[in-house]
A = this chain, B = another copy of it.
Amino acid sequence: MANDNKMNLVILGLLDHENLTGYDIKKRIDGSLRYFWKGSFGSIYPALSSLEENGLIKRVKSKSNASGRERIVYSITSEGRESLLGWLTESKSSNSLKYETLLKVYFGGAAGNVAAIATINEFEKEVEADLAVLRTYKDNLSKVLNERDHVFYYLTVTFGIETYEAYLRWCSEAKRILPDKKYMGNKR
């Protein structure tokens, strides 16, 4: 069973837009996809090999770089595009969220309000930083919205902005509620 191997689909999705090397793919993942997906070289390169073996992608150039540095550019094949289409249209999506922050808030009673507030502040700071970046993405994208594919990128950015703003509202509300409550220590 299994075949949760989403990295294959990520690679197919990226290659459907432009030809890329494994290294490029990593940069895309750490750039635009960062807010809703992660991936490391240790899963990219093996996925690339297996996709090539199965004929879903193929090499465009090897060692073609002017300097002679090794560089393998991949492109998607029609079989790969078919596979991508199948995923995009047929499968159920599974979103897996693991918020350690909320786990700590849930168990907050054990350590008291001060610790919980610290956890929330840490979260808030990260969200604020990410939100600032997302807003500049949005500004840039809204200028080129009529170009192919950009609406879809734009939507993932507005998703981030909408949810991050919700996080921030929650942070304020949580900090407003917490100090009012009686149980401040970890005594039982």
Enumerate chain A interface residues (CB-CB to B < 8 A).
6, 9-10, 13-14, 16-17, 32-33, 35-38, 81, 84-85, 87-89, 92-111, 115-116, 118-119, 122-123, 145-146, 148-149, 151-156, 158-159, 162-163, 165-167, 169-170, 173-174, 177-178, 181-183, 186
A159 & B170 in contact (Cβ 8 Å cutoff): yes
Copies of this chain: 2
> Contacts A17-B107, A105-B159, A109-B149 given; 12 further ones with Cβ under 8 A?
A16-B109, A36-B102, A36-B103, A89-B115, A93-B99, A93-B119, A95-B98, A102-B156, A105-B155, A146-B182, A151-B183, A158-B170
Output the residue of A85, A88, A89 with the most chain B CB within 10 A. A88
Mostly, the A contact residues are helix
A89 & B111 in contact (Cβ 8 Å cutoff): yes
